[in-house]
Amino acid sequence: MAADNPTPKPPGPPDRQGDSVQEHQHLIKRQAAVLQLIAEFFDPDDLHTSLRALAGELQNRFRCERVAIGLYNDGDELSVEAISQQADFDARSVELRLLTDAMVEACDQDTIIHYPGKRRRLRIVDAHRTLAAGGEHAEICTLPLCHQGRRIGALLLQRTSRQPWSPLTLKLFREITALLAPMIMLRQQSERSVTALVGAGLRGAVEMVLRPRHLLAKSITVLLLGLLLTAHYVPVTHRITAEGELVPTERRVVTAPIMGYVEAVNIRPGERVTAGDVLLQLDTRDLTLERTKWENEIRSTETEFRSAMASYDRKAMAMAQARQRQARAQLDLVNQQISRASVTAPADGIVVAGDLTQALGAPVERGEELLEIAPGEGYEIHLYVDEKDIPYIAVGQSGTFTLAARPSDGLPFRVEAIRPMAQAREGRNVFQIETALSEETGELRPGQTGAGKVAVGEASLLWVWTHQFWDWLRLKAWVLAG
């Protein structure tokens, strides 16, 4: 009986679970290596020390003979910033020049150069070949450091080994540089001075303008620059604007001719009057009584005089005549005062001040101002110029005044005088400028307000727009400077 041969088992699938575990463990090691490098980079306080620590850690972890890190400066030139196990190095040495050339070679081609790895077409490795010359089994890997399309620098690793770096190691190198580039750029920006930051901002603005993008922003920028240049070179008339009012050139003050009480008022402010018009009437009752008193006194002295004549008393006659003359003088004075109780207008014009309609029965003293009359013709303008603009004002300059009631009509004027004392007006220090009207058009009334513009010379439009701001800035800078 023949022996039973067991049926052979078909070959099963490969053990993929073990491979998956190995890949997982390898991934964990790679992540740990990257985290360790990041910790080494951020531990020191300044960028230069961080780069040296990073170069040393890369050398130890990947068993390299030398690790170098180079960065681009503001002038777009690459310089070696750190070499492993070298605290100081001569920037003019041949070794440093070879390292720089190799880094620039990789950055210019924007690719990773692994020498003497697989040769690819159109890839130049002359600098790497020169750097590796004389070293048996020398292996160099140079990786550009880029962030957001901008070159930051390069990382160069060099070692001597018969076994080249594996594709996984090269992949790890790429992952490390991808993480290091933004961190190095962040440290660079945080350690820049104010001058460097301003320069970088200006260069960025220039690059934005020169790039073939952002057409709207570029158009607006060009338009603004054109406007500024035009405003700088185009001369215009520099005018000082100030508020003002219409003032009569002559004013007549009406005062109380006698002491008494206001009995009647026939005029109000703003009304026109003619010379001789009765403006107001003072109460004359007390004066009438006093007139009666002196009339009686005259009659009494006449009786005494006749009695003295009858008795041939010369002395009594003389005394009676003296008292009679005194009584007549007092009567004339009272009659004159009664005639002055009616206050009349001294000239034609407009009543501009003095409202006595609410003062009926009020007492007035002799010489007290009651009303003010301005002639109907003859006006001047008082402008109130801010103290910042007063240096530009001079006698003889001309301008135009526009009334608030007639904004479409301009009144030409000429500067006649500048009052040297400042006065407070609406929270500002102003100087009063007296001007004479060149011509009077239409019906003008004293006290009308408006705005005037005085032509003070020629200047560029940009200066006219900005000179007040620059004056204020210079004053603040002088005050803060102490």
Using CA atoms, how far residue 41 sits from 35, 57, 144, in Å, is 10, 9, 18
What strand order describes the sheet that includes 272-273? Answer: 252-255, 369-374, 349-353, 272-273
Question: Residue 432 and residue 446: Cα distance in Å, rounded?
Answer: 17
Burial code of 277-301, b = ≥16 C-beta within 10 A, e = fewer?
Answer: eebbebbbeebeebbeebeebbeeb
Q: Report pLDDT for 120.
A: 64
Give SS3 for 182.
helix
The residue whose two tokens read 């990789």 is 106
What is the tens place of the pLDDT at every residue in 406-422? 888 888 999 999 998 88
Q: Report pLDDT for 207.
A: 67
The residue whose two tokens read 């001040």 is 353
Q: Report pLDDT for 17.
A: 56
- The pLDDT mean for the chain works out to 81
398 vs 362, more confident: 398
What is the tens place of the pLDDT at every residue in 245-258? 988 877 777 777 77
- Contact between residue 339 and residue 234 where contact means Cβ atoms under 8 Å apart: no
Q: Which of 17-26, 172-181, 353-362, 452-461 has the lowest mean pLDDT?
A: 17-26
Using CA atoms, how far residue 325 sits from 96, 310, 314, 317, 372, in Å, is 132, 20, 17, 12, 39
pLDDT above 60: residue 15: no
Tell me, what amino acid is at 393? I
pTM surpassing 0.85? no
Tell me, what amino acid is at 397? Q
What is the tens place of the pLDDT at every residue in 152-164? 999 999 998 878 8
Mean pLDDT of 360-366: 76
Q: Exposed, middle or buried: residue 327 (CB in 10 Å: 0-12, 13-18, 19+)?
A: buried
Question: Residue 230 and residue 460: Cα distance in Å, rounded?
Answer: 9
Neighbours of 222 (CB within 10 A): 11
**Please, what is the end-to-end C-alpha distance for the chain in angstroms?**
123
Q: Output the six-digit token pair for 148.
A: 């957001």
pLDDT above 50: residue 190: yes
Mean pLDDT of 352-360: 71
Mean pLDDT of 455-464: 90
